[in-house]
Amino acid sequence: MSKKLFVGFSMVVILGMLLAACGPTPTTAPAAPAAAAPAATTAPAAPAAATKLYIPVISKGFMHAFWLAVKLGAENAAKDLGVTITFEGPETEAMVDKQMEMLQAAIAKNPAAICFAAVDSKAAIPLLEQAKAKGIPIIGFDSGVDSDIPVTTAATDNIAAAALAADKMAELIGNAGEIAMIVHDQTSRTGIDRTKGFTDEITTKYPNITIVSTQFGGGDQLKSTDLAKAVIQAHPNLKGYFGGNEGSIIGVLNAATELNMKGKLVIIGYDSGQQQLAAIRDGLEAGAITQDPIGIGYKCVDAAVKAHNGVALPKFIDTGFHWFDKTNIDDPAIAALLYK
């Protein structure tokens, strides 16, 4: 071997020995896969973060256009806030058991929160206690519950609104005479509060006005029509009639039309709807209290998202009310709150 080849071969050997000495030992080489393991276990978290919150909205029914307006507001909020909702309710506002079945099914799905308008303000309490035990926030809307379980309730101040209807009635009949009222029920918070608000205002402030009849028609137009006809026929000196929700007032309007009472009876309603709006324009109905059903739907879903995220909320979210008649029915501020 020449001297040059020997030197070259020696350098290669030395270089190989140096690299072997500086490289990782067999005991440390397998550590690389172990370091990568945490990344593999956290990777599935991304889809979970993208999953939308689910919030069932359980109303008192689908009988009236009012609930369709509430549904629209809830859907608008879901779109704006990026959540998923379902909107359901029993066929009539008298179906307590059906609504309880819907509430039970909603709780079983472990949603982020539940929006609930109680048909019966007491019957739902045991189920709401179940929801509370599972950590599911309850948001009341329109009709509250006789319990402190709901985190908040988005609704009209129905006592104050019905009191305003009573004041308008007194003004229009000259602060004296016989009147009657028909309300949807005496079990829901709305039915209880509207009956109380109207009755208390009349008995406290207007001693010369007598409420000769208070009926409950279940919000059913046909039943309310029959009840109102019977009351009108039994009281020939009746000067005014108050209907406490959409179904109730349509019953009064039907009865007044059948008995030719236009111009003979001061009729005051609650909510809106096509038939009631037409009656006000025509002069059969003096006016009504409008709520903000779209606002109720929107604010209950908004509150549900906030409750799920731990945001502090007031116990009551006042969604407002207004008096409207033919003098302001087309005012943009009022018209925006009316539904057909």
Task: For residues 311-324, give the mean pLDDT.
Answer: 97
Q: What average pLDDT does range 62-74 have in this prediction?
A: 91
Stretch among 47-56, 87-96, 214-223, 250-259 having the lowest mean pLDDT? 47-56
Q: How confident is the model at residue 306 (pLDDT cuts 50, 70, 90)?
A: very high
Give the distance from CA 212 to its chain's centroid. 34
Position 3 scores a pLDDT of: 37
pLDDT value, residue 51: 85
| Angle ∠(99,105,107) on CA atoms, nearest 5 | 105
pLDDT of residue 187: 94
Domains, the chain, with CATH or none:
52-156+293-320 (3.40.50.2300), 158-290 (3.40.50.2300)
For the chain, give the mean pLDDT. 88
At 50 the pLDDT is 53
Percent of the chain whose pLDDT exceeds 70:
85
Give the pLDDT score at 67: 94
For 4-60, how does the pLDDT look when each residue is reduced to its tens digit (9 = 90+)? 333 343 443 333 443 344 344 333 333 433 333 333 333 333 334 458 999 999 999
Average pLDDT score over residue span 143-153: 94
Considering the chain, what percentage of its residues have pLDDT values greater than 90?
Answer: 81
Listed range (43-52, 56-65, 94-103, 296-305) with the worst mean pLDDT? 43-52
3-state SS, one letter per residue, for 105-133: HHHHCCCCCEEECCCCCCCCHHHHHHHHH
- pLDDT higher than 80, residue 167: yes
Residue of higher predicted confidence among 15 and 225: 225
Task: Say yes or no to pLDDT of 118 above 80.
Answer: yes
| pLDDT confidence of residue 94 | 87
Q: What is the pLDDT of residue 25?
A: 38
Please report the pLDDT score of residue 179 as a whole number. Answer: 98
Q: What are the CA-CA distances from residue 154 to residues 23, 115, 185, 193, 323 (Å)?
A: 70, 10, 20, 15, 20
Compute the distance between CA of residue 12 and CA of residue 31 in angstroms, rounded to an integer. Answer: 30
Decide if 119 contacts 95 (C-beta within 8 A): yes
Please tell me the pTM assigned to this model: 0.82
